[in-house]
Structure 1
């Protein structure tokens, strides 16, 4: 390229650049309408973007707040049901306004700081309620285990009561004597089942009780099933509530086919009715 053309092109670029700088300076200094409108437009666009960002964040926080509030209601309802199952006193709920109402709690003058504070409060509340529910669940599990170990299931079905717990006239001697169980009259061979979960402590022939099964339910609680026609379980066998252990018979000191059933705590005879009254079939039996 000829030297004079290169010099001319460079001079032209310098003139255009200088003119642009001058125009920009003049526009800012003298606030020309065209440039001022452009600056306002850019400012409004930046403000709109910031507002949209804040609005979106607030909406997300409000949605999160609504989810937490729904979770609190679910946990409170579940806690009340579990407390009812355990027989524990329930917390008194605040008086509700008349009519159906609902929806998330959105504080007046909604802003990010208020929302964040409410979210943190609800998260802490949920954490506490979760801990409470974990404790209630443990209590409920313990209660269910304890209930499974209590002899509350009727040991023989389709039977009638012949002798209750306490004093009676001995069927052989005729003298007043203490009867430490209750007798169920049923046909020989009628299945006899465990009244609760436990381990077979002994399964043997006894001179008084005849074929006898004793079940250990733990913590000193024991049940006896006497005068069995046969024994279907060996010592050491783990039995579930309602599982068969033998059949009604008339072995040992007995006047006829029946089941002699005892409940003992630390060796002391207890009235089996205290436990069996929870069984609906036994309650119907007492009502006959």
Structure 2
């Protein structure tokens, strides 16, 4: 009895003190990060991202109010599918898939414990206008720069950045978007992938040994889109990378996150 009283007192004290594992809304304090908030709240970062419509690079700002979806857990029964479970709980399957890293087919297995996030209807939050001019980009490969962007007065030059690479190194999407073109026989760049990032922004990745995405695939920043090679006119294993806006090449260097 005494232990029960102590436990109840501890619970009330934690609640009164703002127990992060019970809060459903969090006001961001100076120095906090999305990952830290998620860890303290005991929910996956992806659930908070989805609930608040956050966009890359998923930075949060002091004073920002974040919805913290409280979740349930469901143990998959034989014969159940992800879509049936979503219908049962009245939660869009996309939110369950994000919280549990499920594939688009809704594949689950008996005995699997699924996080069922709370249904959130908050509209997507948009960054300030000064940040909407371009997507969030990062380097597609960590190799040394062999050749940078250069434009000449006569219209010639080099439209992107060439990175040194080892054979079959992973080449990553520089930003989230949709694969709009895949070619295995470009005369200059050999195997090449083009990703549309919206608002007129596209990126291209050339000299690939292998392409690991298809036209129409939706990719996230950092996701593998191919393997480095020496196809096309490459003299060694390298990655050719371009960023274009409204079809015109722009210097990638100032746009890449450090």
TM-score (normalizing by structure 2): 0.49
